[in-house]
Amino acid sequence: MAEHLLVIENLHKTFGATEVLRGVDLNVDSGDVVSIIGSSGSGKTTLLRCVNMLEDYHEGRVLIDGEEIGYTRHDGKRVRLPNSTIARQRALTGMAFQTFNLFPHLTALKNVTLGLVKVRGLAKDEAVGIARRWLDRVGMLDRQDHYPSQLSGGQQQRVAIARAIAMNPKLMLFDEVTSALDPELVNEVLNVIRDLARDGMTMLLVTHEMRFAYDVSTTVIFMHEGRIHEAGPPSEVFIRPRTPRLAEFIQNSSFRA
Ligand X SMILES: Nc1ncnc2c1ncn2[C@@H]1O[C@H](COP(=O)(O)OP(=O)(O)OP(=O)(O)O)[C@@H](O)[C@H]1O
Phi, psi of 152, deg, nearest 5: -70, 165
Of 2 and 17, nearer to ligand X (C-beta) is 17
Within positions 76 to 135, which residues make up the interface with ligand X, using CB under 6 A? none
Q: Is the dihedral of CA 99, 34, 201, 82 positive or negative?
A: positive
203-206: strand order across its sheet:
93-96, 171-175, 203-206, 33-38, 219-224, 227-232
For helices 124-137 and 153-165, angle between their N-to-C axes, nearest 10 degrees: 130
Residue 83 partner contact from ligand X, another protein, Mg ion, none using kind-dependent CB cut-offs of 5 to 8 Å? another protein
Residue 10 partner contact from ligand X, another protein, Mg ion, none using kind-dependent CB cut-offs of 5 to 8 Å? none
Tell me the closest approach of the beta carbon of residue 66 to ligand X, in angstroms. Answer: 26
119 touches another protein (CB under 8 A): yes
Strand partners, 63: 7, 68
54 touches another protein (CB under 8 A): yes
45 touches Mg ion (CB under 5 A): yes
95 touches another protein (CB under 8 A): yes
Within positions 42 to 81, which residues make up the interface with ligand X, using CB under 6 A? 42-46
CB 173 within 8 A of CB 52: yes
Q: Exactly one of 36, 69, 102, 130 binds another protein (CB under 8 A); which one?
A: 102
Tell me the closest approach of the beta carbon of residue 206 to Mg ion, in angstroms. Answer: 6
Tell me the closest approach of the beta carbon of residue 62 to another protein, in angstroms. Answer: 15
Chain residues that interact with Mg ion, rule: CB under 5 A: 45
Chain residues that interact with another protein, rule: CB under 8 A: 52, 54, 83-84, 87-88, 90-91, 93-95, 97, 99, 101-105, 114-115, 118-120, 147, 149-150, 160, 163-164, 167
